[in-house]
Amino acid sequence: MFTDCISATKLLYLDDTNNHQDTATVLAIETSEEKGVSIILDQTIFYPQGGGQPADQGQITSSAGDVFIVKDVRIINGIVHHFGEFSVGNFPVNESVELTINSERRQLNARLHSAGHLIDAAVQLLELPLKPGKGYHFPDGPYVEYQGEIAADEREAIRLKIEQKVNELINSAFNTQIATTSLSQIKELCSFVPDYVTDDKPIRVITLVPKLGCPCGGTHVKTSQEVKQLNLTKIRVKGGQTRFSYQLT
């Protein structure tokens, strides 16, 4: 495998969610029966699927007119693979190329991901007895899930309170803060630290609401107002887990 001697891809999207066009150098091109053609670059603005957020899509082009359509993006052992197909030509290794992501898709995914964080913030501010679990921030049915249960006769009232609190936070127009920290210092920024966070690498913390940061590698809005408006559509309680489904308008 060519990737055995390739360094980890520099992730440009970590610094700027609104960077939708940039350049990179082709390090390798691989083909697999399962995924097809994969372009490996020294750096990328394409977000690889993970953390409950779908991958970016878009295209990679060269000055010679070659075009690669990016349909899926995954990160494997620190190396980002841009999966897709050539619509025109091909790239030689070491070619300088231009990266362009689908801006509408990126913005929607960022809004959905940030909305999930705002629900987390509302749950904390309302002091609900729930421990954060997983999130699914895909457009086809986003939700956030928690350990703990809400009594059946309280769910509708809780749903309305969370929805109201989230929209208050959205309208507060908080600026999103991005910080890199260590496990020993993370509690200064985060009120809750997931078990999967380790001290073997720097930790990126996203703060959408002051003093309520969260470890996260995803893309987010620049201000909470960009989320626009959230409807908390459903509360489902099953097996000691509470799931809040939501939609954005």
239: which 2 tokens? 């097996």
Buried b (16+ CB within 10 A) or exposed e, 149-176: bbeeeebeebbebbbebbbebbeeebeb
CA distance 86 to 60: 9
pLDDT the model gives residue 1: 46
CA distance 12 to 9: 9
pLDDT the model gives residue 3: 57
Helix 103-125 to helix 155-171 angle (10° resolution) is 120
CA distance 38 to 32: 8
pLDDT the model gives residue 215: 92
Give CATH 2.40.30.130 domain extents, the chain: 2-101
Q: Which residues does the chain have with pLDDT short of 70?
A: 1-5
Please say whether the beta carbons of 26 and 6 come within 8 A: no
Give CATH 3.30.980.10 domain extents, the chain: 106-248
CA distance 39 to 61: 12
233: which 2 tokens? 């559509």
Domain 2-101 falls under CATH 2.40.30.130 = yes
The HSE-up count of residue 243 (CA atoms within 13 Å, CB side) is 13
79: which 2 tokens? 């190396």
The runs of H, that is alpha helices, within 126-202 are: 155-171
Which CATH number among 3.30.980.10, 3.30.930.20, 3.40.50.720, 3.20.20.140 corresponds to the domain 106-248?
Answer: 3.30.980.10
Each residue's pLDDT tens digit, 99-138: 999 999 999 999 999 999 999 999 999 999 999 999 999 9
Beta bridge partners of 242: 146, 237
pLDDT the model gives residue 202: 79
73: which 2 tokens? 């993006």
